[in-house]
Structure 1
Amino acid sequence: MSSIAQHVLVLGGTSEARALAAALVADGVPVTSSLAGRVAAPRLPEGTVRVGGFGGPDGLARWLDEHRVTAVVDATHPFAARISASAAAACASTSVPLLRLARPGWRQADGDDWHWVDTLADAAALVPRLGSRAFVTSGRQGLAAFAGVTSVWFLVRCVDPPGPPLPPRAEVLLRRGPYHADDEESLLREHRIDVLVTKDSGGTLTEGKLVAARRLGLPVVVVRRPPRPEVPTVADVEAARTWAATPAR
Structure 2
Amino acid sequence: MILVLSGTSDGRKIIELLFQKGYDVIASTATKYGGILIESDCNVEVISEKMEQDDMEKLIRKRKIECIVDATHPYAEKVSVNAMAACKSTGIKYLRYERKGNSYEKTDGVSCFPDYDKAISYLKGTKGNILLTVGSNNLQLFTSSLEIDRLYARVLPTYSVIKKCEDLRLLPKQIVAAQGPFTKEFNKAMYNNYNIKYMVTKDSGDEGGTEEKIKGAIETGVNVVLIKRPKINYINLYDNIYDIIKVIDKDLKK
Instruction: Compute the TM-score of the two structures, normalised by the length of structure 1.
Output: 0.88
- Where structure 2 has 5 or more consecutive residues not aligned to the other structure, the ranges are none
Q: Equivalents in 1 of 2:149, 2:127: separation in Å?
A: 7
Q: Equivalents in 2 of 1:40, 1:8: separation in Å?
A: 18
Q: Equivalents in 1 of 2:208, 2:37: separation in Å?
A: 14
Deviation at 1:38, TM superposition (A): 6.5
Matched residue, 1:48: 45
Matched residue, 2:102: 106
2:178 to 165, 168, 175: 175
Moved more, 182-191 or 169-178: 169-178
Please tell me whether residue 33 in structure 1 is matched to residue 27 in structure 2.
Answer: yes
Deviation at 1:196, TM superposition (A): 0.7
**What is the identity, as a one-letter code, of the residue corresponding to 1:232?**
N
Moved more, 136-145 or 118-127: 118-127
Please tell me whether residue 156 in structure 1 is matched to residue 145 in structure 2.
Answer: no
Seq. identity, %: 23
The structure-2 alpha-carbon separation of the partners of 1:118 and 1:181, relative to structure 1 and needing over 3 Å to count, comes to same
**What is the identity, as a one-letter code, of the residue corresponding to 2:186?**
D
Query: RMSD of the TM alignment (CA)?
Result: 2.4
Q: Equivalents in 2 of 1:41, 1:10: separation in Å?
A: 12
Deviation at 1:194, TM superposition (A): 1.1
Q: Equivalents in 2 of 1:166, 1:125: separation in Å?
A: 21
Deviation at 1:234, TM superposition (A): 0.4
> Residue 57 of structure 1 contacts residue 86 of structure 1 at CA under 8 Å; is this kept in 2?
yes
The structure-2 alpha-carbon separation of the partners of 1:187 and 1:240, relative to structure 1 and needing over 3 Å to count, comes to same
The structure-2 alpha-carbon separation of the partners of 1:146 and 1:169, relative to structure 1 and needing over 3 Å to count, comes to farther
* Mapping 1:90-129, distance limit 5 Å: 90-108=86-104, 112-129=108-125
Deviation at 1:49, TM superposition (A): 1.2
Q: Equivalents in 1 of 2:93, 2:65: separation in Å?
A: 9
- Where structure 1 has 5 or more consecutive residues not aligned to the other structure, the ranges are 1-6
Note the alpha carbon deviations across 1:19-62, whole angstroms, 9 max, x for none. 000011111111111011274875225222111133x2122112
> Residue 105 of structure 2 contacts residue 111 of structure 2 at CA under 8 Å; is this kept in 1?
no
* Mapping 1:226-245, distance limit 5 Å: 226-245=230-249
1:196 to 199, 203, 206: 199
The structure-2 alpha-carbon separation of the partners of 1:39 and 1:132, relative to structure 1 and needing over 3 Å to count, comes to farther
Deviation at 1:112, TM superposition (A): 3.6
Q: Equivalents in 2 of 1:172, 1:42: separation in Å?
A: 23
Q: Equivalents in 2 of 1:144, 1:53: separation in Å?
A: 20
Between Structure 1 and Structure 2, which shows a larger proportion of helix residues?
A: 2
The structure-2 alpha-carbon separation of the partners of 1:173 and 1:79, relative to structure 1 and needing over 3 Å to count, comes to same
Note the alpha carbon deviations across 1:229-248, whole angstroms, 9 max, x for none. 43110012111122222227
Q: Equivalents in 2 of 1:118, 1:36: separation in Å?
A: 24
> Residue 29 of structure 2 contacts residue 35 of structure 2 at CA under 8 Å; is this kept in 1?
no
Instruction: Compute the TM-score of the two structures, normalised by the length of structure 2.
Output: 0.86
Moved more, 176-185 or 100-109: 100-109
The structure-2 alpha-carbon separation of the partners of 1:136 and 1:26, relative to structure 1 and needing over 3 Å to count, comes to same
Please tell me whether residue 17 in structure 1 is matched to residue 14 in structure 2.
Answer: no
The structure-2 alpha-carbon separation of the partners of 1:130 and 1:240, relative to structure 1 and needing over 3 Å to count, comes to farther
**What is the identity, as a one-letter code, of the residue corresponding to 2:83?**
A
Q: Equivalents in 1 of 2:107, 2:228: separation in Å?
A: 20
